[in-house]
Amino acid sequence: MSVYQYDLFVIGAGSGGVRASRFAAQYGAKVAIAEDLYLGGTCVNVGCVPKKLLVYASHFDELFRDSAGYGWDIGAPVFDWRALIANKDREIQRLNAIYGRLLEQAGATIYRGHARLLDPHTVAINGETITARNILLATGSWPWVPEFPGSEHAITSNELFHLSQLPQRVAIVGGGYIALEFAGILNGMGAETELIYRGDLFLRGFDTEVRTHLAEEMRKKGVKIHFNQEVERIVKTEQGLRVELRDGSTLECDSVLYATGRRPRIENLGLDAAGVECDSAGYIKVDELFQTNVPNIYAIGDVIGGMELTPLALAQGMAVAKTLFRDDPTTVDSEFIPTAVFSQPSVATIGYSEELARARFGEVTIFVSTFTQLKHTLAGNAERTLLKLVVDKTSDRVVGAHMVGPDAGEIMQGIAIAIRAGATKALFDTTLGIHPTAAEEFVTMRTATR
């Protein structure tokens, strides 16, 4: 008989923690999982799912306007923010319940409360002490606002999902995917939207051509972008908020959304008591099997840093379950991970940017196509789509694919399979396109751009 109450105790019931718990239990382990906020973690509650619902909502104004070119006359549409938020909340509650049922059906025990490590095998929660042979840390990350004069007036994406009314004038600070997505959402819903970023071009790490194209398209849609700017202070006024920028200029708005990064949720987790090491940024250090420096303690997801993606956390959770309870040491290949930014227009990418490919492979061949999609022609919509392939010249392998345009994420999912399978440009060229679609451009680009 085991000297421990559980084979695996998971702290954090986000996507990764739930996946690890479910499969560990299915593999025969006795599993418990603790959560102090909400089942499903950031993604389900204040991340991917509600954000995508708001993205869908924000597209309708443009669709209504475009419909006139196709013969529709629908009058003046009216948007109700409170109705949207109420409907979103109901959907999130439904998903919360599903996560709970999935864990219960798998046989995992759920603890609601803050869990803290006492030593490598012991957890304290709700006044109770619990022992486990293995412990998995999956506590995720949390948005933060740097301290500066008036920073208390700023909100993060967490609070935006629960605003009682839509701000009519909003300033968004940041240059990552969260900042860009909410700029599109709020602009699409009719708010005067201004984006402030300290660098000369947002989406650092993405392909430069993609970044430049997206900036042009966002400006076309009405988002005012301020590059190479920083906020000095926020001042509360009778009319709302005044944002004072580094160059002395000011912005008047009703709300300031900070999307300048997230930090790992490790506060009061008991890492010191258990001897778990973190890096200089506060992320838990793990090896390729997600094992910390303490042999029986593992960590996955946002709390270990790297790409903050739900599917990646899911894969890591599965890997830990296999490693511990199927005698199958499993890691996660991170070279070709597809991802999307649900900006407007949306971005999707897999593999290497042109810049990284040149550094990694030397000689590369670049294929680029920019065009107006067919559905925009009758509508008179000025949006242009960009598709790009990056090819290793020596092997002819496609090592990067990028898209800016409607449904980019849906299209890139299929492209990702081909690229992970090692498809060459010749194979792309012999693939018949589906006509007329935007996606067919990926298999009809014959002439190299450079």
Write the DSSP symbol of residue 241.
Answer: E
Tokens 């990646």 correspond to what residue?
Answer: 312
Structure tokens at 400: 């990067």
Beta strand 169-173 with 115-119 is unpaired
Alpha helices in 280-341 (DSSP H): 310-325
Report the alpha-carbon distance of residue 402 to residue 328 in Å, rounded.
Answer: 34
Helices (H) and strands (E) in the chain, counts: 13, 21
Report the alpha-carbon distance of residue 173 to residue 233 in Å, rounded.
Answer: 12
φ and ψ at residue 152, rounded to 5 degrees? -65, -15
φ and ψ at residue 288, rounded to 5 degrees? -70, -15
CA angle 95, 99, 101 (to 5 degrees): 115
**CB atoms < 10 A from the CB of 432, how many?**
8
381 closest CA partner among 370, 391, 373, 389? 373
Report the alpha-carbon distance of residue 147 to residue 389 in Å, rounded.
Answer: 41
Structure tokens at 286: 């793990």
Residues 6 or more apart whose Cβ sits within 8 Å of residue 271: 117, 277, 278, 284
Tokens 């590369």 correspond to what residue?
Answer: 364
Q: Do 370 and 213 contact (CB within 8 A), yes or no?
A: yes
**CB atoms < 10 A from the CB of 150, how many?**
17
Report the alpha-carbon distance of residue 394 to residue 414 in Å, rounded.
Answer: 24
Has 435 been annotated as catalytic?
A: yes
Q: Do 364 and 357 contact (CB within 8 A), yes or no?
A: yes
φ and ψ at residue 7, rounded to 5 degrees? -80, -30
Active site residues: 435
